[in-house]
A = this chain, B = another copy of it.
Amino acid sequence: MVLMDLFLSSSLCGAAAGPGIPEIKAYLNGIDTPNMFGATTLIVKIFGSIGAVAAGLDLGKEGPLVHIGSCIASLLGQGGPDNYRLKWRWLRYFNNDRDRRDIITCGASSGVCAAFRAPVGGVLFALEEVATWWRSALLWRTFFSTAVVVVVLRAFIEICNSGKCGLFGRGGLIMFDVSDVTVSYHAIDIIPVIIIGILGGVLGSLYNYLLHKVLRLYNLINQTITFGIAVPSGLFLPIILMGSAYGRLLGVVMGSYTNIDQGLYAVLGAASLMAGSMRMTVSLCVIFLELTNNLLLLPITMIVLLIAKTVGDSFNPSIYEIILHLKGLPFLDANPEPWMRNLTVGELADAKSPVVTLCGVEKVSRIVDVLKNTTYNGFPVVDEDVVSPVGQATVATELHGLILRAHLVQVLKKKWFLQERRRTEEWEVREKFTWVELAEREGKIEEVAVTRDEMEMYVDLHPLTNTTPYTVVESMSVAKAMVLFRQVGLRHLLIVPKYQAAGVSPVVGILTRQNLRAYNILTAFPHLAGSNCREKRN
């Protein structure tokens, strides 16, 4: 029990030091996490984790390695650190959210692969835990990254055969090879296996509960910047050690009742505690398989993982979700709550402050005003008084698209103003702005100085507007809008009216990730909390 106390306290301290896997997960979910993938972070993580492991702390190395992998991927994708960026043409392929997220997912899977020498486990970890959406091309891209990692590892192990590389490469490519151990179990052994799974699930959720309490306490005492001690660390190793200790203890207690080896109890204990705390299944199964190289363990490992996950899920959320919540990151859950079916996006938009739209050709003073007095990151662009498409003399309004705050700030910075109210062409904007500038997400209105004369000028927003934003009709349920938001990986979702009439605005609202979070919706609509779904719709 002394052993378990030690592990518990050490992992509680080190668990959430600085940004790590939860932040990468948040980034891939579409949340802007500033300074996550810089060159400085990379260097700190590399030396920090070497130092931490060398100092003998009970810390995992997969957390820092995942972060290091993601940093390298991000730096490669943007052409180097901020100040020394290369501007090769092919780099523009990473100048959109989707491809940037893909390359960072590849980096994260390479990190897990390097930590456990588990290439398939790394791919699955990235898909099951880190990435929040998925397409089949991503699968073989992450697989390719981990293949490269494993070949490089293998080559280094061969070079280091002489023994000059310290502890690296001891034991070959498999870290804890138990393929020589004869595993034998029978139908009757299902009972202890189920017990391990249930206890692992209970202990795992207890661990999550305690971690939550300790981190909150720590956060109250120590208002600096981060939780925990500032040491790069991962959760895997402490949990594996605790789990093995628990499993072996259980094995000693139950020794006379079964004929399962005590070592096997330790492996299953580690697996059950991992699943009970992290709630992963397939990736943990493959990582254990790749760590132990014994395929005969597979059936019982699967049962233990599934039972522990199910038991744990009935108590509290997974450890990564708890940390995300504690850090206040607006992570969007995978599944909408049942009561979200009872609320339309139109009702949700009505409860917010009214939508701020800009005209296609807008006055500078209004842009400055809007940027200073709102915090929105995107604004619908609406053209008024255009000729009606049905050809009659009636007046129509047109939804032109969505413009980003960052682009508006760029326009003000570069003083791309017009003396009169007129339209410009798309090539004009391309002469003025490079694709690097347009891909920038940062830029503050406070840094911009606009003279009184300039305030009276105009800006043509048309060429800078994204003319194809995703939209939903106001009668759409929040639940379905959320599925769209997450599946397609959006930042803004425009709400269009279901009515067609003169005088109706072509956009009635705008939804962001924050608006779709269950907690925020319940603040505005507290009566929904207990309501059931009216009807399950297709």
Contact = CB atoms under 8 A, between A and B. Distances in A.
A161 B473 CA distance: 63
Contacts of A295: 173-174, 179, 289-290, 293
A224 interface: no
A347 to B, nearest CB: 13
A154 B172 CA distance: 31
A187 B155 contact: yes
Given A498-B399, A501-B500, A504-B389, A158 B143 contact: no
B390 A504 contact: yes
Contact of A139 (B154, B281, B389, B470): B281
A334 B475 CA distance: 29
Interface string A123-134: 100011000011
Given A468-B475, A471-B473, A151 B500 contact: no
Interface stretch (A203-211, A254-262, A481-489, A520-528): A481-489
Interface stretch (A214-222, A241-249, A299-307, A509-517): A299-307
Contact of A401 (B144, B174, B475): B475
A171 to B, nearest CB: 12
A313 to B, nearest CB: 10
A150 interface: yes
Identical chains in the assembly: 2
Interface string A400-436: 1100000000000000000000000000000000000
Contacts of A154: 299
A136 B125 CA distance: 11
B538 A466 contact: yes
A396 B186 CA distance: 72
Interface in A157-203: 158, 172-174, 179, 186-187, 190
A440 interface: no
B501 A397 contact: yes
Contacts of A146: 302
A413 B394 CA distance: 44
A309 interface: yes
A173 B302 CA distance: 15
B92 A396 contact: no
A299 B173 contact: yes
A395 interface: yes
- Decide if the interface of chain A is mainly helix, strand, loop or mixed: mixed
Contact of A174 (B296, B306, B392, B538): B296
Contacts of A119: 298-299, 302
B144 A282 contact: no
Contacts of A136: 128, 334
A500 B119 CA distance: 54
A500 B128 contact: no
A348 to B, nearest CB: 13
A483 B488 contact: yes
B398 A499 contact: yes
A505 interface: yes
Contact of A150 (B299, B472, B475, B502): B299
B137 A134 contact: no
A364 to B, nearest CB: 25
A213 B500 CA distance: 53
A536 B31 CA distance: 22
A513 to B, nearest CB: 16
B298 A120 contact: yes
A147 B498 contact: no
A151 B299 contact: yes
Nearest to A147: B302
A282 B139 contact: yes
Given A128-B136, A136-B128, A502-B501, A150 B298 contact: yes
A392 B289 CA distance: 69
A500 B472 CA distance: 15
A388 B537 contact: no
Interface of A: 92-93, 96-98, 119-120, 123, 127-128, 133-137, 139-140, 143-144, 146-147, 150-151, 154-155, 158, 172-174, 179, 186-187, 190, 281-282, 285-286, 289-290, 293, 295-296, 298-299, 302-303, 306, 309, 334-335, 344, 386, 388-390, 392, 394-401, 466-473, 475-477, 480, 483-484, 487-488, 496-506, 536-538
9 contacts: A92-B536, A93-B536, A97-B538, A120-B282, A143-B281, A173-B299, A389-B501, A395-B501, A466-B537
Given A128-B136, A388-B504, A496-B496, 13 more contacts: A127-B139, A140-B281, A140-B282, A143-B306, A150-B298, A173-B296, A344-B468, A397-B500, A398-B499, A468-B480, A470-B476, A470-B484, A487-B488
